[in-house]
Structure 1
């Protein structure tokens, strides 16, 4: 029993999706930020992140 379910009951909502602050779609993407998405090399450089991906 989570906080979101408690808020649903207190708000009188019919579904938990009506009270979830950051909903995801069935593909687990965020409709607001389009996350997850690819990060460009410029942003990786700014954050000092190096990817070691197999080729």
Structure 2
């Protein structure tokens, strides 16, 4: 999504207010945090010390 930032800016010229920028910043930050959380979970799931197929207790 971040790779498309210039295209998104161009698409919103004339209809993109400061309020929209604020909301978009919040949404992108949330996506970044969720992506980081998913990466953490994937790393934890692949740890060799955890029995495969079962979540840790």
Q: TM-score over 0.5 for the alignment? A: no
TM-score, normalization: structure 1?
0.30
TM-score, normalization: structure 2?
0.30
Higher helix share: 2
